[in-house]
Amino acid sequence: MNVEITPSTVSGRAKAPPSKSYTHRAVLAAGYADGALVHDPLDSADIRATRRAVEAFGGDVTETDGTLDVVGFDGRPEVPDDVIDCGNSGTTTRLVTATAALADGITVLTGDASLRSRPHGPLLDAIGQLGGSARSTRGNGQAPLVIEGPVSGGTVSIPGDVSSQFISALLFAGAVTDEGIDIELETELKSSPYVDITTELMAAYGVDAERTDTGFSVAGGQSYAPAGGEYSVPGDFSSMSYLLAMGAVAGEDAVEVQGAQPSAQGDSAIVGILEDMGAAIDWDQDGGVITVERSDLAGTTVDVGDTPDLLPTIATLGAIADGDTRIENCEHVRYKETDRVSAMAEELGKMGAAVTEEHDVLTIHGGETDLSGATVDGCDDHRIIMSLAVAGLVADGQTTVTGAEHVDVSFPDFFDVLAGLGGGVQQV
């Protein structure tokens, strides 16, 4: 599916979709438990992959009126009857790789072409350190992955600058091992707020994990059980970033975004980034509402070491702002659904943006940029697609974004929401 975006203004009220990061973790934690009701979950392709994995390990997930009723495997995953297809979901793959290491037998994980290009080597090595067997069928650290357990816990040494999801996976699984798991970080942890999300959610399920001087530690012999057997998913700040960006660049009147309750999500940094760029933005944290209006934006410098998913949004804002926007510490953003650093440089370039791409820095020269409509490649990446759609609202002429159906990964009704705010969007 392709979409055409025409220059237009937006205004009105929209609700952020539920958090993808929290939904993944809430469903998996319910799987580790006897079970739980997960309220307000995101329904997307990635989340369905995690649901399939929980069922493959012996659980069951039923949806009724927007609530997931999860029957768990109580910390003792079964050996799956078949290969687990994780689709395009790297989060699913990494989190359940550690789950697979608890099973007394062999689990095989795979996914689509994009997922099979992403790195998992450090997590596979960590499982080996715990006494399990974990390998890539092609010997390159990429899926398909073959995992054999069970592991009973121990100490692992792992780099922190490849994916924070490796750390989250080990913490989730470590709580139900006999010995627990101590994680020693070999390098600085990137995307650390995502581990904060993990430990916050584990605490909501009654499980303790903690930071140490050298990394993280989780005691074994714990049980997952949320208070009252229920958990409610908060709104997603990664997805919210596109709505806020729309308001800042094309808001004829205020755009009001609901569902913005404070949480451990690092991507709530988008509010401060927009403030730094000069946006008229206000966050009522008690009410969970953010309002933003079209403003004259100025370039800024942003370190995305902890907020990699914001890079496409910031790049688009930089192309519209006056002056340079410098996005630093972004090497790890190259290992997502696509190389998002190069993808944003190339696709914004097609629209007339002046961009300088370095290995760990992306600079958008807004003062040298006049965006024009063009046909741009969404790169089968939901975040690239939504960011380019925002750019299309203010480009001169029509913008066509290809592969737009991939917003299903995190924000399935994105284009309906955009149209509801008055944006000119048409499926072609």
> Was 191 annotated as part of a binding site?
yes
> Was 13 annotated as part of a binding site?
no
> Was 133 annotated as part of a binding site?
no
Residue bearing tokens 């100025």: 298
CB neighbours of 302 closer than 8 A, spacing ≥ 6? 273, 310, 314, 325, 326, 327, 328
Q: How many Cα atoms within 13 Å fall on the side-chain side of residue 229?
A: 10
Pairing of strands 209-211, 215-218: antiparallel
> Was 52 annotated as part of a binding site?
no
Confirm if 347 and 377 have CB atoms less than 8 A apart.
yes
Pairing of strands 35-39, 67-71: antiparallel
- The residue type found at 290 is I
> Was 90 annotated as part of a binding site?
yes
> Was 157 annotated as part of a binding site?
no
> Was 383 annotated as part of a binding site?
yes
Closest by CA to 333, choosing from 348, 315, 318, is: 315
How far, in Å, CA of 395 to CA of 369, rounded? 11
> Was 15 annotated as part of a binding site?
no
Confirm if 313 and 327 have CB atoms less than 8 A apart.
no
Closest by CA to 86, choosing from 58, 50, 43, 119, is: 50
> Was 142 annotated as part of a binding site?
no
> Was 373 annotated as part of a binding site?
no
Can you tell me whether residue 57 is helix, strand or coil?
A: coil
How far, in Å, CA of 47 to CA of 391, rounded? 27
> Can 309 be counted among the known catalytic residues?
yes
- Out of 40, 182, 196, 309, pick the active-site residue: 309
Confirm if 315 and 346 have CB atoms less than 8 A apart.
no
> Was 165 annotated as part of a binding site?
yes
> Was 118 annotated as part of a binding site?
yes
How far, in Å, CA of 55 to CA of 14, rounded? 33
Confirm if 380 and 420 have CB atoms less than 8 A apart.
no
- Cis preceding-peptide flag for 144 (omega within 30 of 0): yes
> Was 163 annotated as part of a binding site?
yes
How far, in Å, CA of 267 to CA of 158, rounded? 25
Catalytically active residues are 309
Cite the annotated binding site by residue number. Answer: 20-21, 25, 90, 118, 163-165, 191, 309, 336, 340, 383
Cite the annotated binding site for phosphoenolpyruvate by residue number. Answer: 20, 90, 118, 165, 340, 383
Cite the annotated binding site for 3-phosphoshikimate by residue number. Answer: 20-21, 25, 163-165, 191, 309, 336
